[in-house]
Each structure stands twice: as structure tokens, then as C-alpha cells.
Amino acid sequence: MIFRFFKNRRRARVRRQPFPEEWRAHIERNVPYVAMLEPAEQEELEGHILVFLDEKTFEGMEGISVDDEMRVTIAAQACILLLGRRTDFYPNLETIIVYPAAYVARTLRRGPGGATIESVETRLGESWSSGQMVLSWDDSLKGAADVRDGHNVVMHEFAHQLDGEWTGGEGAPRLSERSMYATWASVLGKEFEALTDDMERHRKTVLDKYGATNPAEFFAVATEAFFERPTALKRKHPELYDQLRGFYMQDPAKRYR
């Protein structure tokens, strides 16, 4: 309790700092979604960004030097997910590692007979449980530039962070009431199965078919669609939209009218 008191007091002090005009210019140029927010939401967002950047560190890879534009652009997208909610600012995250573009990652998996198989994958981002996240800067910019395509790697990876706060990343983030979990599991389970079926039958979907990988990826993909394709998601998946609206305490469909 004492630690929380001092943490909240420090955060309140950080939020009272003036928001740099240069940062605001970066957001206006790189994150057009913010222009769709109400003035009060924009003010709240700027306070969130100040706290976020005070608490998180950034590291550049492959020769990239992480500057304020990169930090603020990523923070703005991450903090949109926190608007209107009680938040602890992604408590499991300490460091965001930034590559200049898509990067190559080596993975190990168990093969037949217990053999270890190494493979190479090209990735845009990934969220770890060890306090780190990895993002491609090029793709962080591209994801923010088009607010209607349903693809935003920053929102996707930070949705994983929210998911991991409670269950370890199984598609069931911390809800405001325990009684909400039964409906959440029912709706998202049904929608996950429907997306899997759509993928197998090669049907066009509102949700990115990568969401059929597992429940955690489904939640992250659904988050992208909720913020960037809300009218289509609400029309075709009303129950899913309602669950996400209750979790995020936002109604993005109203911003797209």
C-alpha cells in the first residue's frame, strides 16, 4: 500500500509536467488516430504518455538510435489502449527494443521423436513475459498511418501485455468483475472457433486470420480490429465488440462516424 501511494504520487507529479510541443507534432504527424479522440481523451492520453515514457526504457538494434519521435509515436499508440480505464501502465514491461524494420528471429520447437528443430522467422514485433517487447520501427509507423486497415503492430503487442498481466497470456485479460469471465470466455471462444473455420474455408473476414493461431493471438488481433475497424466489427461481430468495449471502456465505432 505504501509503495502504491508513492508510485501514484510520483505519477501525478509527472502528469502535471507540460507536454512538449515537439512531441505533440510527432503525434499529429505519425498517429492520426489521436485526432479522432475527444479533447478530454487527448488530454488524458498526453498524461499517459508522460508517465509511460518516464517509466519505460527504449533500446535500438542494428545501429538504430531511438529518438523522441520513435518513443512518442510508440507510446501514443500503446496508451490509446489505456484510455478511460484504471491502469498500472503495463507493469510487466520494462524495455522496448526497436529494430529499424522487420527482423529475423530464430525459434526452437520440438519435432517428431523429441528432436529440436530450429527455424527462422521474419517478425514485426513480439511481446515477452520477461519485461521486454520488440518492435519494428518501420512497421510501427505503417500501422499507425492507416487508421482503417485493422493492422497495428504496436496495439497488437501491447494487447499481449494487457493479456499477460492476469493469465500469463491466454486471451483472458484482467476484467473489472470476476462475474464477467464466463461471458468473456463464451463469446471469445465462439468467435475464435468461427475465425478458425473461416480460415479453413478461405472465407473473407473482418479479423486478421492470424488470430486463429491461438486465443492469445485472437485477443490481440481483435484489439487491432476493435480500434481500427470498429464499425465493421460491431456490425458483423456485435457480441465480440461489446466484450471489447466493456474491457477497454471505449466505443471506437463512434469515432468513425
* Of 84, 57, 85, 81, the residue nearest 71 (C-alpha): 57
**HEC states along 106-136?**
EEEEECHHHCEEEEEEEECEEECCCCEEEEE
The band of 50, judged by pLDDT with boundaries at 50, 70 and 90, is: very high
User: In the predicted model, is pLDDT for residue 33 greater than 80?
Assistant: yes
What's the mean pLDDT when you consider all of the chain? Answer: 93
pLDDT at 167: 66
CATH number for the domain formed by residue range(s) 166-257: 3.40.390.10
8 A C-beta contact, residue 252 and residue 226 = yes
Whole-angstrom distance, CA of residue 111 vs CA of residue 70: 39
User: In the predicted model, is pLDDT for residue 128 greater than 70?
Assistant: yes
Whole-angstrom distance, CA of residue 119 vs CA of residue 106: 6
CA atoms in the 13 A half-sphere facing the CB of 83? 23
| 65-121 tens-digit pLDDT | 999 999 999 999 999 999 999 899 999 999 999 999 999 887 766 666 666 666 678
CA atoms in the 13 A half-sphere facing the CB of 143? 27
Which 3 state secondary structure label does DSSP give 76?
helix
| 213-257 tens-digit pLDDT | 999 999 999 999 999 999 999 999 999 999 999 999 999 999 998
User: In the predicted model, is pLDDT for residue 135 greater than 80?
Assistant: yes
Domain ranges of the chain: 166-257
pLDDT at 133: 97
